[in-house]
A = this chain, B = another copy of it.
Amino acid sequence: MAEQADKRQPVEAGGRGAENRERIVAAADRLFYEKGFQATSFSDIADAAGVPKGNFYYYFKTKDALLEGVIDWRRQCLKKLLNSLNVQHDDPRERLMTLLTGLCAGEDDIVRYGCPMGTLSAELCKTGHEMKEQAQSLLETIREWIATQLQAMGRDDAPEFAREILTRSQGVTLLAHAYGDHHLLVEEMARVRHWVSAVLDGQPH
């Protein structure tokens, strides 16, 4: 999927230095998304966050630790998003469709940088990074949420159906990113929504 890890609301946990920590994580989050993990250097982050390089190591011992912080951050953002959907809509079908529609909210970012979860997962898997399971779990979280909605609609194929929805969404974002094609993203996501609706309305899939 492709929700932007937006809505950056620092928690201010513990006053003082937490501020700087947030700044670092937020800057790293954005840069890891835009340029990828490997291609982002501490200098890049330092410039973006306005924090001198040396200070990083007070908060994060290694670059990997910083990545861990970023993934946790994304997880929190994702949970907030899913929670707000749960709160805003009682009908699970409405929840799901709202999620699928929301994917086009961060349109431009997705065309430029792809899905924050999908691209991170792909990069970490390829480089064999220890943190790849953490990235994968982001995708799994969203798949489970979708499955939960489908189950609430009484579907006994919830797990497989959810997987297929995730699969198709990821395919759309990957191609839209690869082609840099805005229309592709919008049209194909509409197609996915249409397909989901049709299946929910009883068409075999």
Residue numbers of A with Cβ under 8 A of B are 34-36, 38-39, 113-114, 118-119, 121-123, 125-128, 135-136, 139-140, 163-164, 166-172, 174-175, 177-180, 184, 188, 191, 195, 205
Contacts and interface: CB of A to CB of B under 8 A. Distances in A.
Contacts of A188: 163-164, 167
Contacts of A121: 174, 177-178
Contacts of A125: 114, 177-178, 180
A106 to B, nearest CB: 15
Contacts of A191: 164
Contact of A169 (B114, B140, B166, B171): B171
Contact of A119 (B122, B163, B171): B122
Contacts of A167: 168, 171-172, 174-175, 188
Question: Copies of this chain, how many?
Answer: 2
Contacts of A166: 171, 175
Nearest to A180: B125
A204 to B, nearest CB: 9
A195 B174 CA distance: 20
Nearest to A177: B125
Contacts of A163: 175, 184, 188
> Which 7 pairs show the lowest CB-CB distances between chains A and B?
A171-B171, A121-B178, A167-B171, A170-B171, A36-B126, A170-B174, A39-B127
Contacts of A113: 126
Contact of A179 (B136, B177, B178): B136
A84 to B, nearest CB: 25
25 contacts: A36-B123, A36-B127, A38-B38, A39-B126, A114-B125, A114-B126, A118-B178, A119-B122, A121-B177, A121-B178, A125-B178, A136-B180, A139-B175, A139-B179, A167-B168, A167-B174, A167-B175, A167-B188, A168-B168, A169-B171, A170-B170, A170-B174, A170-B175, A171-B172, A171-B174
